[in-house]
């Protein structure tokens, strides 16, 4: 009897030993992989001598994600895992993930990332940034914005989460010139490199790139102003000019599920400091009797009307939102005009918990 038990124990030990070996082999393999990646990249630069000046500095592909307040394996943690898997699956360029986390969420994020590493047998390059430290760096911006664009003032760092994109230039390492900030409820149908290519199309004055909001939410928020003023602000996009205003075909506002940021230009912009000043935000919100609840994207929408040179409008295919909430809440007659998107879909956005058809 006891001999059999010893054998069973021995077997278990051997199995555990093998598992550990396997795990160790994987991990070392991975670090080697990463090193090789870096070596090869350096080699590429050495051997290519005739690049045009614009390509001389190798572009970094920094993707930013926010993953906080996750305390257990949940839908959000799977969305996060699936998005990283999806991005690595579609990308033709080496991505670097920058993830804003709290301590508990970080552990869950690490688990989800190692799932992807094991599943895809690919290394993932990532860094974590602490939300509390990040929130401190953008406190002044959050204080200005919250009264105008948050549904109810929150506590702790929760308010800051809605305005990270505006202050990311202070959180990101100085070496990062550009960044793409993504919501976790996205699915890329095409190469994420296409998104980075959009930076090359930016007008010289633009700091941010955003795609239109695809619901009438801003028509709704602006209804008081629109009742008194003949404006294209909040109108859906028409095929032809309907006025001689700044946005002659209409202006639906912006959605911040995908935000392209020129960090370097923003760091150097004195104009940006002016537009995020309390007096400028007060002026804009008063003018349009604007009371929002969607955080940074409310601010971008106002900028888009008052300071259009600061924003590059991406086409709707770069943030194809799927939420239809407004169709069932008073806007069934015009909803489809807002949701219409004739461009190729690069990114699907399952906002308001809409399931993404894959």
Ligand X SMILES: *[C@@H]1O[C@H](CO)[C@@H](O)[C@H](O)[C@H]1NC(C)=O
- Closer to ligand X by CB, 9 or 120: give it: 120
The closest of 216, 209, 184, 215 to 195, measured between CA atoms, is 209
Report in angstroms how near the CB of residue 85 gets to ligand X at its nearest.
5
- Helices 278-287 and 296-306: crossing angle, nearest 10°? 80
CB nearer ligand X, residue 57 or residue 103 = 57
Query: At closest approach, how far in Å is the CB of 103 from ligand X?
Result: 28
Of 325 and 345, nearer to ligand X (C-beta) is: 345
| Nearest distance in Å: CB 52, ligand X | 19
For residues 327 and 356, which CB has a smaller minimum distance to ligand X in the complex? Answer: 356
- For the residues of 71-118, what is the DSSP string, one character each? -SS-HHHHHHHHHHHHHHHH-SS-EEEEEEE-HHHHHHHHHHHHHHHH
Residue ranges that bind ligand X, judged by CB under 6 A: 85-86, 89-90, 121, 140, 143-144, 230, 240-244, 248, 265, 268, 277-279, 282
Closest CA to 334 of 233, 252, 240: 252
> What residues pair up with 209 in beta bridges, in sequence order?
260, 312
Q: Least distance (Å) from ligand X to the CB of residue 5?
A: 34
How many residues are recorded in the chain?
A: 358
Least distance in angstroms from the C-beta of 104 to ligand X: 26
Task: Decide: helix, strand or coil at residue 240.
Answer: coil
Nearer to ligand X, 88 or 171 (CB): 88
DSSP assignment of 152-180: S---TTTTGGGGHHHHHHHHS-TT--EEE
Nearer of residues 68 and 86 to ligand X, judged by Cβ: 86
Residue 286 beta carbon to ligand X: minimum distance, rounded to whole angstroms:
10
**Residue number, 69 or 267, with CB nearest to ligand X:** 267
Distance of CA 209 to the CA centre of its chain: 11
DSSP classification of residue 200: G
- Residue pair 87/188 in contact (Cβ under 8 Å)? The answer is yes
Tell me the closest approach of the beta carbon of residue 75 to ligand X, in angstroms: 16
């Amino acid at each position: 009897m006891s001999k059999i038990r010893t054998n069973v124990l021995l077997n278990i030990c051997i199995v555990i030993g093998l598992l550990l070996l396997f795990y160790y082999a994987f991990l070392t393999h991975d670090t080697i992989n990463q090193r090789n990646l870096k070596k090869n990249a350096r080699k590429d630069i050495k051997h290519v001598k005739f690049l045009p000046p614009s390509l001389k500095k190798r572009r970094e592909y920094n993707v930013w994600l926010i993953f906080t307040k996750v305390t257990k394996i949940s839908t959000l943690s799977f969305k996060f895992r699936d998005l990283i898997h999806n991005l690595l699956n579609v990308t033709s360029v080496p991505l670097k993930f920058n993830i804003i986390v709290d301590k508990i969420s970080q552990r869950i994020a690490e688990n989800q990332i190692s799932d992807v590493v094991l599943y895809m047998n690919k290394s993932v390059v990532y860094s974590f940034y602490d939300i509390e430290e990040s929130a401190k760096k953008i406190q002044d911006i959050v204080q200005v914005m919250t009264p105008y664009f948050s549904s109810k003032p929150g506590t702790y760092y929760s308010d800051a989460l809605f305005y990270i994109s505006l202050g990311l230039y202070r959180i990101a390492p100085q070496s990062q010139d550009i960044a793409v900030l993504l919501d976790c409820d996205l699915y890329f149908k095409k190469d994420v490199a296409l998104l980075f290519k959009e930076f090359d199309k930016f007008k010289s004055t633009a700091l941010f790139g955003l795609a239109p909001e695809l619901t009438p939410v801003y028509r709704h928020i602006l209804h008081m102003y629109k009742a008194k003023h003949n404006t294209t602000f909040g109108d859906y996009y028409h095929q032809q000019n309907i006025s001689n205003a700044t946005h002659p075909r209409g202006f639906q506002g912006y959605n911040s599920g995908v935000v392209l940021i020129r960090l370097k230009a923003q760091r150097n912009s004195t104009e940006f400091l002016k537009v995020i000043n309390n007096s400028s935000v007060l002026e804009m919100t008063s003018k349009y009797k604007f009371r929002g609840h969607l955080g940074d994207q409310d601010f971008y929408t106002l900028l888009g009307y008052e300071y259009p040179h600061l924003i590059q409008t991406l086409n709707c295919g770069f943030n194809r939102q799927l939420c239809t909430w407004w169709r069932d809440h008073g806007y069934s007659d015009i909803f489809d005009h807002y949701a219409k998107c004739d461009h190729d879909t690069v990114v699907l956005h399952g906002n308001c918990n809409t399931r993404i058809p894959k």
